[in-house]
């Protein structure tokens, strides 16, 4: 049985060129970048070359890039680091949304429960997009930070972060944006977005797991996240993982070369899937992803239970048994039968949210994959 992987928003397959790029740093070039001898100096060059290249791709300066081990760590660093920097300042208000990634929501809840910060969780629109007007209207004289994802990891909806930063800059409010899903699917330029913090992760762009980056705009003040060393501009202690950093750089190099082709490929597959769903299910399928201002590789759907019959709790498992890998929401909250908080926030009841699917295409998918997905779905989600 041929298997079809359509969960690229959770993670992507590491490119073979990336793997080959990393191998020498596990054996021959094993030095510590903080060492002063030749072994250290050699990998220090790789570290800074990687920082330069990744920064350039995202429109940033090398000094503004801090390597971390995950998007989750980057989000925690930006949010907690800024909050702790503002302890006792008289400003204790953060604005976010109810559809953020769990690494943002859990960090904010921690700040609320342990340090008495006040957080406003804005409700999104129909597709999970946050209205900049709602953000601006929520600002008070105690607001010091806004944390909103650039594109929603479950629906793909893109929020106009630039409109928010146009307002926040004059108010001395820091803006953090989780751009993990946007990287490689939209053209990102952190300086143009004018954010103070942005998060990217290598494993979403065909790089290795365990390496990510946090963009920290020049002169943005934040507390150190990991203590114990002076690495990463004295913001994150710990020996840098040069092998993974080199892999991250290679993934970005490949992305720079293939991005235009990738984007067109994602759009073509998305159109094919939408066409197939509409032709077979007609009005019985509910699209939770917008057709405009949305990532080209994510389609989130629900089903009308008045017209269709299927087992919400078994849907993903039944598809997997047919060789189709998709998700019902964020991979960071998978492993449970809880419905997606994002889909509940955009208006679905628990059963509808539980029976929803996120289909996310990647560079290695084909039109045949879409056909195989549709064939499997027709056998599981049937008309009454």
Active centre residues (catalytic): 332
**Both tokens of residue 7?**
């969960």
Spatial distance between the Cα atoms of 298 and 199, rounded to a whole number of angstroms: 19
Name residue, tokens 């996310």.
360
Nearest C-alpha neighbor of 243 from the set 14, 9, 11: 14
Q: From the CB of residue 223, how many other CB atoms can be counted at a distance below 10 Å? A: 15
CA 90 → CA 94, 106, 121, 172, 233, distances in Å? Answer: 13, 23, 20, 14, 28
**Both tokens of residue 137?**
């209207």
Beta-bridged to residue 183, according to DSSP, are 186
Sign of the torsion formed by the C-alpha atoms of 342, 348, 354 and 359: negative
Spatial distance between the Cα atoms of 285 and 283, rounded to a whole number of angstroms: 6
Spatial distance between the Cα atoms of 155 and 328, rounded to a whole number of angstroms: 11
Structural contact between residues 241 and 212, judged by C-beta atoms closer than 8 angstroms: no
Q: How far is CA 216 from the centre of its chain?
A: 17
């Amino acid at each position: 049985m041929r298997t079809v992987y359509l969960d690229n928003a959770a993670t992507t397959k590491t490119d073979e060129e990336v793997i080959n790029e990393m191998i020498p740093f596990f054996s021959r070039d094993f030095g510590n970048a903080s060492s002063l001898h030749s072994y250290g100096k050699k990998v220090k060059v790789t570290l800074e070359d990687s920082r330069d290249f990744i920064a350039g791709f995202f429109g940033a300066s090398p000094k503004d890039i801090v390597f971390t081990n995950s998007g989750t760590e980057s989000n925690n660093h930006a949010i907690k680091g800024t909050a702790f920097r503002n302890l006792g300042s008289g400003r204790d208000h953060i604005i976010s949304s109810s559809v953020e990634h769990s690494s943002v929501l859990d960090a904010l809840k921690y700040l609320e429960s342990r340090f008495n910060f006040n957080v406003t969780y804005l409700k999104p629109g129909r597709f999970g997009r946050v209205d900049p007007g709602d953000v601006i209207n929520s600002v008070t004289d105690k607001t010091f930070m806004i944390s909103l994802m650039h594109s929603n990891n479950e629906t793909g909806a893109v929020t106009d972060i630039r409109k928010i930063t146009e307002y926040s800059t004059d108010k001395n409010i820091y803006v953090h944006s989780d751009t993990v899903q946007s990287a490689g699917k939209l053209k990102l330029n952190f300086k143009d977005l004018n954010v103070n913090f942005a998060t990217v992760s290598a494993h979403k762009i065909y790089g290795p797991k365990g390496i990510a980056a946090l963009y920290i705009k020049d002169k943005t003040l934040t507390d150190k996240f990991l203590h114990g060393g002076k690495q990463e501009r004295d913001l994150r202690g710990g020996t840098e993982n040069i092998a993974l950093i080199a892999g991250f750089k290679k993934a970005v190099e490949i992305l720079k070369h293939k991005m235009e082709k990738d984007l067109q490929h994602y759009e073509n597959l998305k159109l094919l899937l939408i066409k197939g769903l509409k032709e077979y299910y007609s009005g019985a399928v509910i699209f939770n992803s917008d057709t405009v201002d949305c990532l080209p590789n994510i389609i989130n759907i629900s089903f009308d239970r008045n017209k269709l019959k299927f087992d919400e709790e078994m849907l993903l498992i039944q598809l997997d048994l047919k060789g189709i890998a998709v998700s019902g929401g964020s991979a960071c909250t998978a492993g449970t039968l809880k419905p997606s908080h994002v889909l509940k926030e955009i208006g679905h009841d628990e059963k509808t949210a539980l029976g929803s699917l996120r289909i996310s295409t990647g560079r290695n998918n084909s039109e045949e994959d879409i056909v195989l997905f549709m064939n499997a779905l027709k056998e599981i989600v049937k008309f009454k």
